[in-house]
Amino acid sequence: MVSILVWPPPRRKSKISVAIPASLTSDLPHLRDKSVRAGIVARAAALFRVEDIYIYLDRHGVESEGEFLCKILNYLNTPQYLRKRIYPISPFLKYAGILPPLKAPHHTVSGNLKTIGRGEFREGVVVKSGRSSLVDVGLGKLYPISKRLRKGSRVTVRLVKRRGDVSVKLASKEDVNVYWGYTAYFTGCSLHKTVSMVNADMVLATSKYGEIIYNLLDEFSNTMSTCRNLLILFGSPHESLFDICKREGVKLRDLADYIVNTIPLQGCETVRTEEALLATLSIINLLSCSQPSS
């Protein structure tokens, strides 16, 4: 069992990814409203320790919506001390400043050398590149790494304290044993091609026409105990997953191992994608936390 109060939260041993449609914000006319909806998705993903967000192309003509969604999600996942280095001024980010911060573990690191723990991980960005590279890790100066890295690339580093100062060593996200945020990808592909690309151990589709999750709790909990990579699929504001698959010429039951209703007896005629995201991830989180491998 996992303690209720744990900070920073451990990284999941069973990876959770979600697939959401590019048209998620297409029904909203104003960029401010689109940004707010993206912010809800970002908070939901971080709250429940999602690692990858795949944005699939559910219909043609919404490519720019998918690009916007991917950019703002990755922006929100970026620690504030790196944002100006990584993201130039963009119309996509006009309202990003009004969105609530994630405050995930990679965001809440200290900027004071005295309070930095030994072996602490941080996110950084490569500012200068040559035979060695200079990296900004939010500590007021640039730190060298003895490796040629692409300028502008984002890296994970481990800090080594030495005589009141620190040096940095290149690390990877996989080295960090706490939840380290998500990464959003705009696949530019259809739903069924995106599912094939992810190659997950188990695929869960959400639908009001699916089996009520309560009836599958024991089976699903047992399956999750051996699953290493779970992918959860969500429909669009305009179409269910069944409708999207029908248009793509595939069957949802061929794509997903489970099709579940995570909001039985819903009190509203329709459930928005961001609402389904929160409801489903909450249940998955509860089930996974009851597993020793979580």
Return phi, psi of residue 113, to 5°: -55, -35
Q: Give the C-alpha separation, 288 to 150, whole Å.
A: 37
Q: Which residue has the higher pLDDT, 289 or 84?
A: 84
Nearest to 16 by CA among 292, 282, 260, 241: 282
Q: Give the C-alpha separation, 38 to 44, whole Å.
A: 10
Asked which of 175, 204, 222 is the last residue of a domain, the reply is 175
- Whether 131 and 61 map to the same domain: the answer is no
Determine which of 79-83, 195-199, 219-223 has the lowest per-residue pLDDT on average: 219-223
- Whether 171 and 186 map to the same domain: the answer is no
- Whether 255 and 166 map to the same domain: the answer is no
Nearest to 141 by CA among 90, 81, 71: 81
Token output for 276: 């389904």
- Whether 80 and 206 map to the same domain: the answer is yes
Question: What confidence score (pLDDT) does residue 294 get?
Answer: 40
Residue-averaged pLDDT of the chain: 93
In a domain, 294, yes or no: no
Nearest to 26 by CA among 61, 53, 54, 55: 61
CA dihedral 273, 95, 178, 128 (to 10 degrees): 130
- Whether 73 and 202 map to the same domain: the answer is yes
Domain span at residue 235 reads 15-103+179-289
Q: Is residue 77 within 8 Å of 149, Cβ to Cβ?
A: no
In a domain, 262, yes or no: yes
As a whole number, mean pLDDT of residues 122-149 equals: 94
Q: Give the C-alpha separation, 65 to 92, whole Å.
A: 10
Token output for 245: 């698959």
Residues 6+ apart with CB under 8 A from 106: 79, 121, 122, 123, 180, 181
- Whether 74 and 185 map to the same domain: the answer is yes
- Considering its fold, how many domains does the chain have in total? 2
Dmax (CA) for the chain in angstroms is 64
Question: What confidence score (pLDDT) does residue 290 get?
Answer: 63
Determine which of 77-86, 152-161, 214-223 has the lowest per-residue pLDDT on average: 214-223
Q: How many residues does the chain have?
A: 294
Asked which of 131, 155, 175 is the last residue of a domain, the reply is 175
In a domain, 75, yes or no: yes
In a domain, 24, yes or no: yes
Question: What confidence score (pLDDT) does residue 165 get?
Answer: 78
Q: Give the C-alpha separation, 183 to 198, whole Å.
A: 13
High-pLDDT (> 70) share of the chain, % = 97
As a whole number, mean pLDDT of residues 152-156 equals: 95
- Whether 212 and 141 map to the same domain: the answer is no
As a whole number, mean pLDDT of residues 207-216 equals: 94
Q: Give the C-alpha separation, 96 to 83, whole Å.
A: 11
Sign of the dihedral through C-alpha 282, 284, 288, 294: negative
Give pLDDT tens digits for 38-88: 999 999 999 999 999 999 999 999 999 999 999 999 999 999 999 999 999
In a domain, 4, yes or no: no
In a domain, 236, yes or no: yes
Give pLDDT tens digits for 239-288: 999 999 999 999 999 999 999 999 999 999 999 999 999 999 999 998 88
CATH code where residue 213 lies: 3.40.1280.10
- Whether 133 and 95 map to the same domain: the answer is no
CATH code where residue 149 lies: 2.40.50.140
| Whether the predicted pLDDT of 293 surpasses 50 | no
In a domain, 162, yes or no: yes
In a domain, 5, yes or no: no
- Whether 158 and 26 map to the same domain: the answer is no
Asked which of 156, 175, 194 is the last residue of a domain, the reply is 175
Q: Give the C-alpha separation, 259 to 84, whole Å.
A: 42
Token output for 55: 């944005």
- Whether 199 and 53 map to the same domain: the answer is yes
- Whether 74 and 166 map to the same domain: the answer is no
- Whether 22 and 52 map to the same domain: the answer is yes
